[in-house]
Structures are given as structure tokens and as C-alpha cells.
Structure 1
């Protein structure tokens, strides 16, 4: 099944999140089977990342967005852990620092985009500036309304300079979010994740829905597509993201670079002589 096209937001299409089932139980009801496939996909991801690192002709930017407790950290832990840290890093975006606030809203993101051969995962991203800042009127509409086009131009520039972009909106419902908050209360190892804002943001659920829908509609492009990932079931979320990631990697048609030395000569000088000596 082509998960890439099934969950991709068609550029310019209307997005109604209420019509997207965050559990998507019609697909992959077998958890064990899905988790086993995810393991195999991670192995494929590991090999493809190695090839990208060796080739050094392109880079990959992955954007993870979603409501609180949607599973951004979990997606990083379960899907991206197969990658070699030498060629992959995760960048998280919190409230802008004083220095960041003194620049344009894209400045702090642009300086941490991946170089050739590398992968960067944004845990939250430049889209916070058309989400939180919109919902809470931190900046006026005349400011944030211009940012969709600015974001598209920014992502197009990255794409034209060799950076592929995949953006995942992790879709959960209100009941699942509250249940995950409760688990944070019940498990001492997760107590540190609890914040007052987790609960104080819940009354703004509908406002955030509208903000996400507009961002998905206006900023899903051919060069930087958005994917709506059903995320109530964590194991299904991991499977979908892993499948889409592998499909994108394979579409790059990467090749290992040609060796920069004469392999036959290297073998003759340093290996054939050793074999000859051992035989004697």
C-alpha cells in the first residue's frame, strides 16, 4: 500500500482534520506484524542514510509537528534511532531566546538546516510561528498571515539547493491527549514532562485545529509535502512514518561515489604482498 500518497496533503486541497481518523483502524490492525515491519524498515533506513552520507549530493529535513503529547519525541526514538548520529541530528524549538526574537522568525531555523549528506529532524519548527503566535495573538494577523508565503519561499530555496523536505503532522484526538497526560502523572519516569501549559492549552483545541488546517493547506507543496499521520496508535504512527521515509529515500536514486584511488594498485601494494609473505 502506498502510504506516501495516501497520507500526503495534496497541494492546495482543503484540509478538514475532523475527517481524518487519528486511529485509522481500517489499516494494520495487527500490532505485532506492524512492529516487525517497522524493525525491517529501520534497517533499510540505516542503509539508505549511510548511502546519503557517502554520496554527499543532497540532504534531508524532516519536520515533526503536532499537539502536546502527539508523539514527536516517540517518533524520533522509534523511527530515527537506526540512523548514525554522525549524519543525523535532532533540533528542538522552544520559546525564542532574546537573540532569536531580534531576528526574523526563520533565522533560528535556517542556521540549523542540514548540510549535504546530512539529515536534520525538527522537533517543532518554523510552523510554530503560524500556530502558537496565531492562536494567542502574540503577533497581529497582518504579520502572521504573511508567513505562509515566506515559509513556502524558504522551503523552496532549501529544495532548490539540494535539501529534500518531509513534514509530518502527528494527528491525535482530545481523548488520547488527555490519556497520555494522565500516564505522565502515573509514571514517575515521565513526571518531568508535565507542564501547566499542557492543560491550559486544551481550551484552545478548536483554534489550534483551524491553525493547523490552514498551515497544512497553504504549505503542502510538491517540493515540501505535508503528511497527516494517524497517531492515536503509536505503533501505527511509527510504521507510516518509516514507510514514507523509505519511499522518499528510494526515490532519490542515490549512488555510492566512485573511489578516489586505484583499487587494483592499492590491493597489489598492500594486500597481495602480505598474502605472498604469509604463503611463504
Structure 2
């Protein structure tokens, strides 16, 4: 597999999604892709172990993409070698009645990683400037002051949300959370094929909802919103990475390799033993060895 680097996918300038490919030809077989991914997974698990012991940073992995982009299977495959105690996956769905009693970032703040651990957001706080922007009537359930009908939702409202999200990420990053945000860039034709497979394969029928087809009609609006999101919120402390996602195996490798590249920039290390413990290691060893 040709050498891929995180910088190849990072959003560092204004982007146009329709100019970015949804598939990457890596010129290798699916079997070899899995072997490459396995090697990356093993390296990531070692990084995770050091980071857990270091106990200074947490990692937030954000995954966004259109329906069928492959978020669930990517999580399963990329994090397969992780120690289960060190990673928590949060799948954010429609806010509950309790969550709606708080501001829209509250439930996301509560799901941030502890020091030494990973949190994976399967759909993220960006839904609050994505699905609510495509369906502004959803905002009405938030009971926001001075927003009594959808015509009250102005462009200034959305700009304020972007500012709040940027401030939220800057705050948590400055307190030791390493943020990586991945957009799984899927083509409309590949989504069509995946939806057909859900209908044609009995064991996948349960994944299909007629609502998927209604949302598909809004494809262009979603693409426009995603483009705006990445252009306004990809920062050095919280970058977006656009991952070609028409091939699931390649997408998984890119995400895993990007995580490894980015985490390699940090000096995670195991803590040193206290001097008095270090000086008496032989004594402790002899004491345990002499037990019967």
C-alpha cells in the first residue's frame, strides 16, 4: 500500500466537496489492506497503553458522514485491538427529553474522554449545525429564547453556533483532549448501492428505513452544510480529515493511520517509579520469590 500521511487528508484551506474524490486507489488487494490495518491497530494499542499510563491526555474521535458511510463497521474494525477499559463509544441520536432541558452541547460535554482514555463520537455535536440546519423545525424542541418559529432562525443564529462549537473545542483541547474529526466522504451512487444491499440482504433489512430515502432527496443540502462545517471549524487544535469512503477497507486504514500519525506527535510514556521503590526492586523481587 502506498504511503499515506494524515496531512494528505487534513482540511487546512477552504474546500469544495465536489472536487474531492470519494475513492482512493491504493493499488493493493483487500487482503493486504486488512494486513496493513492489523499492523496499525497493534501500534495504536501500544500507544493507547502508554497514554493510559501517562494519564495526561484524552482523545476524542469524531465521526460524521452520510447514511451508510460505514461509521459503525469502521469503529468495530479500527478499535478492535484496544483495551476495552480505555475506549468508550457514544452514538448520539435524537436528544432525549432530559437532554433537551440543557443546552445542545451539554450531552457532548458529558461524554468527553477521561484522561488516559478515548471517546468515539458516532455522529457528533456537529449534528447541531447539520441536521438542524437541513430541518430547522427541529430547533423548536430546544425551547431557545426568542426563537418562536423557524423564521426566527437567522444566519446569525448558525454563525453563533459555529463560534460556540469552536470555543468548546478550543477549551477542551487546552485541557488535554486531543481532537480528531473525520468526515467519511461517500458518493451518492455508492450510497444508492449500499441502500440496495440493505434491501436485498435479509440480515441487513433491519438497517433500512423509508426515512433514508427521504433524507437522500436532501443530499445536496447535506453536502453544502458539511462543506460549510469543515471550512468554518477545521482548526489546528481540532482538525477535520476528509476520508474517501466508497471503499470501506481503505477508509478504515486511512482513519487508523491518521490517528497513529497524529498521536505520534505526543510524548506518551510510562510513569517513572518512585526512587525508594526503584532502589528496592531487588528486595521486593526476592520477597515474592521466597514465598511458598
Shorter-chain TM-score: what band? over 0.9
Alignment of 1:220-239 (within 5 A): 220-239=234-253
Residue 186 of structure 1 and its aligned partner are, at CA, apart by 2.3
Map of 2:108 onto structure 1? 109
CA distance in 2, matches of 1:212, 1:277: 64
Mapped pair 1:62 → 2:61: yes
Structure 2 distance, partners of 1:23, 1:34, is: 14
Partner of 1:9: 11
Give the SS at the match of 2:53. helix
**Cα–Cα, structure 1 residues 60 and 277, in superposed 2: closer, same or farther, change >3 Å?**
closer
* 1-structure distance, mates of 2:260, 2:160: 34
Answer yes or no: is the 8 Å Cα contact 2:4–2:254 preserved in 1.
no
Aligned to 2:40: 41
Corresponding residue for residue 190 of structure 1: 204
Deviates further, 216-225 or 80-89: 80-89
Cα distance in 1 for partners of 2:291, 2:194 equals 66
Shift of 1:266: 4.1
Q: For residue 19 of structure 1, what is the aligned residue in structure 2?
A: 19
Give the C-alpha shift of residue 107 in structure 1. Answer: 0.7
* 2:54 paired with 1:50: no
TM-score normalised by structure 1 residue count: 0.93
Q: Deviations over 1:225-273 (max 9, x none)?
A: 000000100110011001101111211111111124614424314x325
Pair 1:89 & 2:88 matched: yes
Q: Give, in whole Å, the separation in 1 of the partners of 2:136 and 2:289.
A: 74
Residues 150 and 28 (structure 1 numbering): CA distance in 2 closer, same or farther, change over 3 Å?
farther
- Say if 1:146 and 1:276 are closer, same or farther in 2 by CA, change over 3 A: closer
Structure 2 Cα separation of the partners of residues 273 and 173 of structure 1? 64
RMSD of Structure 2 on Structure 1 (CA): 1.7
Q: How far apart are residue 220 of structure 1 and its match?
A: 0.2
Shift, 1:100, TM fit: 1.3
Q: Which runs of 5+ in 1 are unaligned?
A: none
Deviations 1:168-216 (A, max 9, x none): 0001111111111122222232222112221110110000010000000
